Amino acid sequence: MITQLEQLLFHEAELLDAGQFNDWIELLAPDLRYWAPVRSDIARADERESEADRLPLFDETRESLALRVQRLHTGLAWSEIPPTRTRRIVANIRPASGDDGRLRVKSNFLVFRSRSQRDETLMAGMREDVWSQAGRWLLHERKIVLDHRVVENMSLIL
């Protein structure tokens, strides 16, 4: 099971790094929630309880992500001319079965983004995913917990 999950997450990272966003969208379930809570300067034990009281950095659906991908194909996304280069590293993949037949997976990530000559960003964090398999794997939820206090470029979260 772990090898299959690793290959799934590695394949997803490869699709995103190669700019194959339409293929990536096909991995997303219709009921997808793709979000990142704001980190705050409180004790770690209290942070999870206070997440529900704060606005997220972003809170996307499959439809909103598909619209973002469509915009990239219009040629009007000037911030992507020239295209951004990214490299995603996914590690420490830890599966846990869910009560509803879905699989919960935690993983760590590192994303390097390079654009233009001097615009480079490195972001790290942890993801909590919910996947199901009904013929093919579908992502139902991804919670992205960034290790950064300040997030300057949300475009590389995709």
Q: Are strands 137-146 and 28-36 parallel, antiparallel or unpaired?
A: parallel
pLDDT confidence band for 52 (50 / 70 / 90): low
Query: What integer pLDDT is reported at residue 136 of this predicted model?
Result: 92
pLDDT confidence band for 2 (50 / 70 / 90): low
Query: What integer pLDDT is reported at residue 47 of this predicted model?
Result: 60
User: If you search the block for the tokens 């606005």, which residue do you land on?
Assistant: 55
CA-wise closest residue to 96 among 104, 88, 86: 104
DSSP code at position 56 = -
Query: What integer pLDDT is reported at residue 19 of this predicted model?
Result: 93
DSSP strand E in the chain: where?
28-36, 58-60, 85-97, 103-115, 119-133, 137-146
pLDDT confidence band for 151 (50 / 70 / 90): low
Q: How many CA atoms lie within 13 A of 101 on its CB side?
A: 5
Report whether pLDDT(18) > 80.
yes
* 124 neighbors 109 (Cβ within 8 angstroms): yes
What's the CATH class of domain 2-157?
A: alpha beta
Query: What is the average per-residue pLDDT within 17-36?
Result: 97
Tens digits of per-residue pLDDT, 86-126?
999 999 999 987 778 899 999 999 999 998 777 888 999 99
Query: What is the average per-residue pLDDT within 38-57?
Result: 68
pLDDT confidence band for 1 (50 / 70 / 90): low
Integer Cα distance of 92 and 132 in angstroms: 20
* 85 neighbors 122 (Cβ within 8 angstroms): no
Q: Which residues contact 19 (CB under 8 A, 6 or more apart)?
A: 83
